[in-house]
């Protein structure tokens, strides 16, 4: 249900090099060249040369999502389980009087 931009972040998939390092960013998909860049503002990234398995699964999936050839995320997302921090509220449980705001 995530928008495409959220599925792709922190990566950008472009058909032309835009941020330099074209050789490092280049990815061949179906005979077409794409340039995959990571947003350097994302604090959770580890930089370096990716393993081939990463390129074959994760980068490929990002490119397919960008091209709208794939909808479901498998390798590029993580399943999150919630520990039920919320309780069900009934409409009578909340007082929406103006003095609360």
Read off the pLDDT of residues 16-56 as tens digits, 9 standing for 90 and up.
Answer: 999 989 999 999 999 999 999 988 888 888 888 888 888 88
101 has a pLDDT exceeding 70: no
Q: Whose CA is closest to 60, among 49, 76, 44? A: 76
CB atoms within 10 A of CB 76: 17
63 has a pLDDT exceeding 80: yes
78 has a pLDDT exceeding 90: no
Alpha-carbon gap, residue 25 to 13, rounded angstroms: 9
Rounded percentage of the chain residues whose pLDDT exceeds 90: 31
pLDDT at 86: 54
Read off the pLDDT of residues 45-56 as tens digits, 9 standing for 90 and up.
Answer: 888 888 888 888
pLDDT at 17: 95
């Amino acid at each position: 249900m995530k928008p495409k931009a959220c599925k792709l972040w922190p990566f950008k998939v472009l058909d032309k090099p835009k941020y330099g390092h074209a050789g490092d960013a280049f990815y061949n998909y179906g005979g077409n060249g794409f340039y995959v860049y990571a947003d350097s503002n994302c604090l959770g990234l580890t930089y370096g040369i990716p393993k081939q398995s990463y390129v074959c699964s994760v980068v490929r999936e990002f490119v397919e999502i960008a091209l709208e050839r794939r909808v479901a995320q498998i390798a590029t997302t993580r399943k999150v389980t919630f520990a039920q921090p919320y309780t069900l509220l009934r409409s009578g449980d909340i007082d929406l009087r103006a003095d609360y705001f």
